[in-house]
Amino acid sequence: MLKTKTYGIGRICVVEGCGTRLSAYNPSSVCALHGGEWRDDFHRGSRKSSEREEIARRCAFDPCGREFATTNPAKKYCSDACRMKAFQARVMAARHPNEAEGIRRAS
């Protein structure tokens, strides 16, 4: 008959201030109480990441700077209009640095 696998004798729960001695048959490094808590946290965490969470952002188009909420982490501007304006400003800045600066001040 095979020997039952054990995980070491004399280990204690790694949660600070717990100090519960672990069973040699417990594969985890925490006691049953803390193991349960950690599992709950894990489930909560995985639910959260599968959901699309709203992120509060500030429009990356400087003269606008409006705060907006989005579920898309890649979204940088509050609207398509700002995205276009920012793009145009970038093109302008590349071609005529002084004009682009004028547009910034005007708006």
User: Using CB under 5 A as the criterion, which residues of the chain lie in contact with Zn ion when the complex forms?
Assistant: 13, 15, 18, 20, 31, 34, 59, 61, 64, 66, 78, 82
CB of 2 to Zn ion, least distance (A): 30
CB of 1 to Zn ion, least distance (A): 32
Burial label, 13 (beta-carbon count in 10 A; 0-12, 13-18, 19+): buried
Q: Which is nearer to Zn ion, 1 or 106 (CB)?
A: 106
Q: Which is nearer to Zn ion, 37 or 101 (CB)?
A: 37
Give the pair of three-digit tokens for residue 107.
């708006």
Q: Which is nearer to Zn ion, 64 or 93 (CB)?
A: 64
Q: Which residues lie across from 57 on neighbouring strands?
A: 68
Q: Which residues lie across from 12 on neighbouring strands?
A: 21
CA–CA dist 100, 42 (Å, integer): 49
CB of 50 to Zn ion, least distance (A): 29
